[in-house]
Amino acid sequence: MPYTLKLINALSYSGSVQATARNPFIEIDDEAEALEAEATGYFKIINSDLSKDEEDHPPPNGSDEIDLPALYTEKELLKLKQAEQEEIIQSLNGDPGQAKNAQERVALILKLQEIAQEAGLE
C-alpha cells in the first residue's frame, strides 16, 4: 500500500527522499521507510492506515490545518547551495534575481521570512 507523506516544518528536504515547498508530497511504498521519513520530523503521513486516526478526527470548524515551515537561521541558510537558497526565495514570493551572491540571498531570505511572519503567511 503506498503511503503519501507531506513535507512539514521546512521549505525543502533532501535525504532518503526529496521534497520542496512547491512539491511537498511524496509517495513511499514501504511502511518502514514511511515511518522513518515521518520520524525525521520533516514529514507527516497523510493517507494510509497509519494516519487513519487523524482522518477520523478532522480539525475543529472543518478548517484545514496548515503545517508551517520553520524559520531558517542565517547559519542554516549559509550551508545551503545556491539553487536551494533560490528555491526558498521563490517559495517566499521573492525574486532570486535581486541577490547577486550568497550573503545577499541569505539576507533576502531572512527579510522575506520576517515579512511573511508579520503578514501571517509563515
Q: Provide the residue ranges of all domains of the chain, joining segments of one domain with +.
A: 3-62, 74-119
Residue 18 pLDDT class (50, 70, 90 cuts): confident
- According to DSSP, the residues that pair with 45 across neighbouring strands are 5
Residue 98 pLDDT class (50, 70, 90 cuts): very high
Q: How far is CA 120 from the centre of its chain?
A: 16
Q: In this predicted model, what pLDDT tens digit does every residue of 100-110 receive, in sequence order? A: 999 999 999 99
With a cut of 60, say whether residue 61 has pLDDT above it: no
Residues 6+ apart with CB under 8 A from 20: 7, 11, 12, 13, 87, 91
Q: Are 91 and 20 in contact (CB under 8 A)?
A: yes
With a cut of 80, say whether residue 69 has pLDDT above it: no
Say what the pTM is: 0.47
Q: What percent of the chain has pLDDT over 90?
A: 14
Q: What is the CA radius of gyration of the chain?
A: 16
Q: Please, what's the b/e burial string for 32-49 (b: 16 or more CB within 10 A of its CB; e: otherwise)?
A: eebeebbeeebbbbbbbe
Identify the pLDDT of residue 95: 92
